[in-house]
Each structure stands twice: as structure tokens, then as C-alpha cells.
Amino acid sequence: MREFIRSIAGDNCWDFSYKEYNFLFAEQKYQSYYLFYFPSDRDQLLKLKKEAGDIFRAIKESKRYHSDMDKNITCILCLKVDDHAYYEASASGKVSDLGKIICLVEEDLNYFKKNVLLYTEKMDEFSQEHIGCLKSLCQEYFTEENFQSYKKSYGDNIEYDFLINLFIKIPFLSFEGYQPGNRKEYQSMEAFIKARLTEKELNLKLIEEICIHLEENLQDDDTLFKYLDAMVKEQINEAGMTKEEQIHED
């Protein structure tokens, strides 16, 4: 699994060690950083959570560290489990003991965000057979037929299940970059938003200006509401309508 993850992370990827931990550290676009860890069991999963502060300090002391890493690191813990543990929650309809541990780890945001990626022995074998082939795998498996099959029983399609979990747990992966070409069901969110803006005749430039203004000046809810009220009044005045007339027109 480690080499498969390395092939996904790309060239800007290096090993980082601390005590018995052996990490894979990757830098992605927009100064985002990913710390992959491959614990051998559940105890190591929890141990990393407890030692997150020491690990972060070790990162700050490393030669690769720079200030952009502060608050921009996501730790992805890749844990191999047996089939029973992987499918236990689905079979019982209850949160398993492993599920509770995962919640404890993922809900802890101290020092860096944490995601837990589970995979089985068969998924591990599948990944080893397809190192460097993520895009072709997505083109092969991300089909309507596999999606419908997965909804009925995700245990019957471990390949699709594994690939979907990669995109859920690894934030720098985007369907837009791996989607099969010319399929409407995989239309990018950006294209969808642009189409809706055109359809509703919305002023994208004005929206961008509003967002920038709010980012720079928003202090609390009162400030937001005052700004929105002022903006509505301004738009009404520019249109030459009273507020009552606009409401009636709507």
C-alpha cells in the first residue's frame, strides 16, 4: 500500500521517521501537506493520536520544515484490517469497536487533521498490482454499473469500494482530475456552478467582490447582517424600487 500511495502523491514526497513511526510525507498544491502513516494495529492508531504533539514538534525540527506547514498538515492513517473488522459495522448496523476508535482519532484536530483509511488484504494486493495506475483504474471502475452494484452491496466490489475510499480520505484527490472523459454524471462542480450562474444571470464579479470584502472585514454576525442590509438597500436604490415594490415583484 505504501508504494501505491507514494505513486499517487507524486514526486514531491519523502520519508520522515520519528521513534518507531515511519511516515510518508507529501507536499501538494496550495501549500498543503500530507503525513501518511501505516500503523500495524489499532493500538498504534491510538498511540499516534496521543503523541501527535511530539510528532508535530519533530516535523518542525526537520530540515524540510517551513512555516506553511503550520495548520496545513493532514495525517492519513492507512490501517489494514481483516474482512470481519472492515465489514462489521455494515453487517451489524451498529458502530463497531474499531469504528469508535476511528471516531476518537478523526475527531481530534490537535496539531493536524487526521483521517483513517481502512483497507483489507485483498485491497492491499489490488493496490500492489496497480502502482502508478490510479487514473486508468478510475476510468475502468467508475461506471454507472459499478456504482449501482456498490449501492446494493459494497462488499461485492472491493475495487470500487477501495477507490471510492481513497477519494473520501485523501483530500488532494479530486474526481475532476480522474473522471472518465465526456460523462455527464461526472461533470465537475466548477462547470455546474458556472452553468447555474449563467442560468440565473448572476453577477460573478459582484459575488467575488462581496466574498473578498467579507473575508477582510467580517468580525461577527452583527457586522455580516449590517453589511447585507446595506447591500440590499443599495441594490434597491439602484433599481429605483422601494423594498415593498421589490417584494411584491418577487
222-234: burial string, b at 16+ Cβ within 10 Å, e else: eeeeeeeeeeeee
The pLDDT confidence band at residue 243, using thresholds 50, 70 and 90, is: very low
Residue 189 lies in a domain: no
Query: 143-152, 169-178, 198-207: lowest mean pLDDT where?
Result: 198-207
Residues 9 and 118 in one domain: yes
Cell matching residue 139: 476510468
The better pLDDT of the pair 165, 244 is held by 165
Alpha-carbon distance of 119 to 131, in angstroms, equals 16
Residues 165 and 112 in one domain: yes
Residues 119 and 75 in one domain: yes
Residues 176 and 216 in one domain: no
Residues 26 and 148 in one domain: yes
Q: Decide: 71 and 55 in contact? Cβ < 8 Å.
A: no
pTM over 0.75: no
- Positive or negative torsion for Cα 19, 20, 26, 32: negative
> Would you report the helix, strand and coil content of the chain in percent, each value rounded to 5?
60, 15, 25
Specify the DSSP class assigned to residue 65: -
The pLDDT tens digits for 112-146 are 899 999 999 999 999 999 999 998 998 888 888 88
pLDDT at 235 exceeding the cut of 90: no
Q: How far is CA 70 from CA 27, 51, 75, in A?
A: 13, 17, 13
Residues 52 and 174 in one domain: yes
Residue 14 lies in a domain: yes
Residue 190 lies in a domain: no
Residue 69 lies in a domain: yes
Residues 31 and 147 in one domain: yes
The per-residue pLDDT for 144 is 83
Alpha-carbon distance of 235 to 232, in angstroms, equals 5
Residues 137 and 207 in one domain: no
The pLDDT tens digits for 179-227 are 655 455 544 445 555 666 666 556 666 666 776 766 666 666 677 677 7
Q: How many domains are there within the chain?
A: 2
Closest of 131, 136, 190, 141 to residue 165, by C-alpha: 141
Domain range for 214: 203-249
Residues 177 and 207 in one domain: no
Residues 175 and 216 in one domain: no
Instruction: Count other Cβ atoms within 10 Å, centred on residue 157.
Output: 18
